[in-house]
Structure 1
């Protein structure tokens, strides 16, 4: 009887508990809906790792890592969120967002790359520096990209290209990207550190290649991983640069008459007070800053430029009419400069059609497909709430291929640049305070 009399009481208590749980879940669910209603659509994927695995699969697929972004933009729209390497990322693909984030007039954003890239190029690199540190570094490096430096690069690069082309006719097959990587690497090493020894160049290029390959690898620093190989390669590159710095300083102290017309020489001259640019002693760079940024400039000058040139040749091969117009322009310039062995900087100003062709190649290829920033305070973008601490990425590739921005965006048409383009729509070199420092030099190499 006692057990039977307890049954209604137990049932009542169970109902009360279930009702309470129902109300708790209702409140929690309602609060969740309320707090996430204005957050960008998308998926956080699996616990902890998010969608990192899907991203890595895209990196290693034939379509490349951008396929990860493209598929989600199609699904969610111009603003979506995901979770990569333990952090929330938001991708935006409108010109208004590009202006707000990249110009950063509000001061709400700062540069931020994923952990693997930051570890490989170094936290003192222009790519990873905080907003304040970036301004200091930029003020020191901007003088390196002078008209004189660009003019020297144009001549040297043209010499390298002519030398390479002369050997192509005797080869059965030319792997264009491989050859262009060698040309651009030699050009950057000559400009930055005056390195021309073939054996040393070969060794350094292999290590820089390992660093580049590891940039989008999962940041697992174990001996068999690609990331670990990249970290080890970075260490060897740092040793080479440290050796060059030490030798240059020894030459100075021993009053050796050796002089190098390169970036390293200028940076060391400023820091030892022998340059007119050394008046602001507070901005003296450390050796670590010099080494991180020399590596960054080698990677940027070699990898992105070679990729851009490869895409340009592809587009020209597919568009005979564009190629014919370009050949006609180049033939006229060659006639005018027939008394000169190599191109000079002034010759590039005559290449009006070539400049439009280069812009169109960069638009379609989008060698740098997105620009990452860290959100410093809560804000609103495209009608969605963006939280402090999130990573926000301007999807340049989507903007470049947006039919609302460019008519027939998948058609290779340099003449579209006869007219001024929509504001904030051409992002090949970034925009705002973090616009590519080597913009003019990169253009000169691609021309």
Structure 2
């Protein structure tokens, strides 16, 4: 805790010394309020704040170094290579610099992978992180989550999605929550209903593209995905309530990789405040439904509350029945699913549109398949699960887009016991991150990995070599829903327009938890017909 506190203080100190405090507090107004005009006085004050705790904590630092050295000598295996960075703060500043660049935070990992190899360690936010990038390591970790590893995101992500989220839950808690959510999310009936709703939203949205000079794909995909998820989860489908929720979720997403400092004006603080407002909205919705004030809905929230009602605990917000979910678990996981369904899917769709524009042969083959599907579909009808199953090449395009983009670039775990990975010693309590992007671009696994080639998936892929949705007991619950969303969007776009991407820049958006294009992929579209296809 003291290490993290000092890490926060040092970061402010460094920002001030370099006259960059405005970039951290997000606005000139905030910087003016918080800092005196005399920078010399300011530097002296912050120097005292830094040096006094440093004298107290230096003893802990030295003892930790001795402990780690003794631990290393106790085993025939060495700890992974890497750098501890600066005392106490490690390489946090390098990590933050990568986040605030157009290369994305993954560039921090890429540079160190080139320097140290497939397994290296670093220190971020006062904690040791190990990154591994081989299919063998991915398999060893993901197959042993119940005993050796548990899921764990960095502090900022955990606080924003909540302790009861599937992303942060312990093994036993995860099993309970997952079993309850699976009943609805993976049922054929709910998926078919969601498919119809999403298809309708896509058709409505695409109609407006024809009348615009340019359209930014990311913005439109976010809008569609957000409305689809909110409607499926809580029947929020239009109006100011939907727009407010969408804006609050954006604030939460933007804060996920921010420096975890609870200070007014910082990105992380604004994200926490947005989370509180979202929790209040969901809590109010739950209360209204329990009191009978709300209209009965056929949605995800009603499913969870209905199950509780059948067990006699619908009105108990803090029930202890081990087979039901608490309100906190419901709220945290609704927020998690909105973020996952909105941000990751929209980002993946954007990359897919860009890749297809750059690979016209693939696009031509895909368009032929999609018009064949369209010819079998009655005019005015919506796509069905059977239609999606009749899109084998489109499914490969989706999979290849996910491999190339690696929207979720790594999967974090926590070592529950001392263990070994790739011949290196891993200490209990260390964070172990599976580098999915490196696995997806591994030339020993994928031939010519930098080439967009959907046909590569005609052959059976090596186990644990495709990690877009994770693997093992914590595989993404929304895997079928995400694939369906991408296929529906792809079908409607392919059969409605030809498009040209007008900004080929592949720079990554700053502060994005999930890799997405800074440009948003602006396109110019031209309507097509069956005859011109």
**Alignment correspondent of 1:6:** none
Aligned counterparts of 2:231 and 2:121: Cα–Cα separation in 1: 42
**Structure 1 runs, 4 residues or longer, greater than 3 Å off:** 27-37
Q: Which digits, 9 at most, give the CA deviation of each residue in 1:21-56, with x for residues without a partner?
A: xxxxxx999969846971100001011111111001
Is residue 366 of structure 1 aligned with residue 403 of structure 2? no
Is residue 164 of structure 1 aligned with residue 205 of structure 2? yes
Q: Which digits, 9 at most, give the CA deviation of each residue in 1:399-418, with x for residues without a partner?
A: 00010110000000000001
Is residue 125 of structure 1 aligned with residue 165 of structure 2? yes
Question: Is contact 2:90–2:126 with CA below 8 Å preserved after alignment?
Answer: yes
> TM-score, normalised on structure 1?
0.89
Q: Which digits, 9 at most, give the CA deviation of each residue in 1:164-222, with x for residues without a partner?
A: 11001111121111111010000000100000132111111110000000000000000
> Does the residue aligned with 2:420 lie in a helix, a strand or coil?
strand
Aligned counterparts of 2:103 and 2:289: Cα–Cα separation in 1: 45
Aligned counterparts of 1:120 and 1:365: Cα–Cα separation in 2: 24
Aligned counterparts of 1:397 and 1:31: Cα–Cα separation in 2: 34
Is residue 46 of structure 1 aligned with residue 91 of structure 2? no
Is residue 89 of structure 1 aligned with residue 129 of structure 2? yes
Q: Which digits, 9 at most, give the CA deviation of each residue in 1:95-126, with x for residues without a partner?
A: 11111101116710000010000100000000
Aligned counterparts of 1:362 and 1:211: Cα–Cα separation in 2: 23
What 5-or-longer segments of structure 1 have no aligned partner? 1-26
Map 1:41-440 onto structure 2 (within 5 A). Answer: 41-104=81-144, 107-145=147-185, 146-251=187-292, 258-273=295-310, 281-440=321-480
**Alignment correspondent of 2:493:** none
Rg comparison, structure with higher value: 1
More helix by share: 1
> Does the residue aligned with 2:352 lie in a helix, a strand or coil?
helix
**Alignment correspondent of 2:45:** none
Question: Is contact 2:72–2:78 with CA below 8 Å preserved after alignment?
Answer: no
Aligned counterparts of 1:281 and 1:243: Cα–Cα separation in 2: 22
Aligned counterparts of 2:336 and 2:415: Cα–Cα separation in 1: 24
Aligned counterparts of 2:279 and 2:106: Cα–Cα separation in 1: 30
What 5-or-longer segments of structure 2 have no aligned partner? 1-65, 315-319, 488-533
Question: Is contact 2:165–2:336 with CA below 8 Å preserved after alignment?
Answer: yes
Q: Which digits, 9 at most, give the CA deviation of each residue in 1:336-391, with x for residues without a partner?
A: 01245211121100000000110000000001110000001111100100010100
> Does the residue aligned with 2:123 lie in a helix, a strand or coil?
strand
Aligned residue pairs: how many? 414
Aligned counterparts of 1:296 and 1:28: Cα–Cα separation in 2: 38
Map 1:16-31 onto structure 2 (within 5 A). Answer: none
